[in-house]
Structure 1
Amino acid sequence: MNIPQLQIQTTKGILGLLIDKPIQEIEQPKATMNQEQPAAILEMSTTRPQLSIDTSEVRADIDLKGPLRRGDENAQYGRQGAMEGIARRAQEGQQMMQIENGGNAIVDIIRQQTTPAPAPLGIRFVGDRTKIQMSFQQGTLEINATPQRPILDVQINKPIHHYTPGKVSGVMEQYPSIQIDIKW
């Protein structure tokens, strides 16, 4: 007796996955920066130095005198000459009063007047520089510098981000199957 047989043959199903990977791109642009440096404020103030030189005494030594000084010196010279003349006349009068003591007073007086004193040597050094009077007042210089702060304008740029999401999709690589056979 033959018994029918049932034969079952199965093929399993194979599921495959198709994966598209995600793509992510990130870019960070540099910051935009504008910088400006204003010049410092510079203030300067000065007072001039003063030099005073008085050469009037040196100029007087080389006979370059002003009219007032020349007038004063001539008046003094005249006064001195008048006093010397009075003194000489008084001395001559004294000599004449003592004529009784002997001697020849008139001849002595004439000899004194006619015989000049020896003239001084004509060499004279003029312009003594130690007579120059100088005064100096020092000047000043003040400098004020005020620095200015830099002007910075910084723009921070946001990152550039591109993202493409990934995909997963299922694909049947092998479909399942069942085959049933009956054998008699």
Structure 2
Amino acid sequence: MVSLPSIQIHQQYAQIGIETDRGQLEIRQPRPDFEIQTKPAKLETTYRKGDQVIDQSASWEALGKGTIFQFTERVADESKSIAMEGIGRRVDEGNRLAAIQNGGNPISEIAFESAFRDFKMNYEGPFYTTSVKLTYTPNRPEVHFEPGDVNITAKVNPPEINYSPGKVNIYMLQKNAVEIVPPQIDARL
């Protein structure tokens, strides 16, 4: 069999190399700046002591040590009642003397009773458990209040954006090529 000469064709494809660096995006958001001003509340209170009044004049009067006006009024009242009692006693004694028919010795009896009679004048007033009077008047506290205040100012800081663009490097990794190898021709033929 006869062999036919053949042409050999070798083809090499082109290859492209690509190197990329990605772009960098950096976003930073600073916190806002706050300015806070406060005015504290004020509370002022003033307390005043209450007024207490102790009235013990009725007790002193009951002990007979009241004012001179109370004493003289009480002596005048007692003198009237003692005078009225004396008039009544004189009437009784006169009636006893007039009743001779009853017998006895009314003159000596009346003299004996008069010798040992107690002529006490009551110049003291009546005493009660409520003779001392207490009165208390509280004083209200004075309260002055001023409300406080808070003033907040916020300054928003803009975001900080940094962008570094990426790179693309394209290069020829392998060139294309076509190689044609002719057959060897035998020139002897």
Both proteins in one fold, TM over 0.5:
yes
Match of 2:123 in 1: none
Match of 2:76 in 1: 75
TM-score, normalized by length of structure 1?
A: 0.62
> Per-residue displacement from partner, 1:27-85 (whole Å, max 9, x unpaired)?
12222223344434547688976655433222323333122211211222222333333
Displacement of 1:26 in angstroms is 1.2
Match of 2:55 in 1: 54
Preserved CA contact (<8 Å) 1:29 1:159: yes
Matching of residues 83-162 of structure 1 within 5 Å: 83-96=84-97, 98=98, 101=101, 102-116=103-117, 128-134=128-134, 148=148, 150-162=150-162
d(CA) in 2 for partners of 1:151, 1:53: 55
SS, match of residue 40 in structure 2 = coil
Match of 2:24 in 1: 23
d(CA) in 1 for partners of 2:8, 2:89: 185
SS, match of residue 84 in structure 1 = helix
Displacement of 1:16 in angstroms is 2.6
SS, match of residue 26 in structure 1 = strand
Preserved CA contact (<8 Å) 2:40 2:147: yes
Gaps of 5+ in 2: 1-6, 121-125
Preserved CA contact (<8 Å) 2:61 2:70: no
d(CA) in 2 for partners of 1:99, 1:168: 161
Displacement of 1:9 in angstroms is 7.6
TM-score, normalized by length of structure 2?
A: 0.61
The number of residues matched between the two structures is 171
Q: CA RMSD in A?
A: 4.2
Q: What is the one-letter code of the residue matched to 1:153?
A: T
d(CA) in 2 for partners of 1:42, 1:94: 87
Change (3 A) 1:114 1:181: closer
Preserved CA contact (<8 Å) 2:40 2:149: no
d(CA) in 1 for partners of 2:8, 2:100: 204
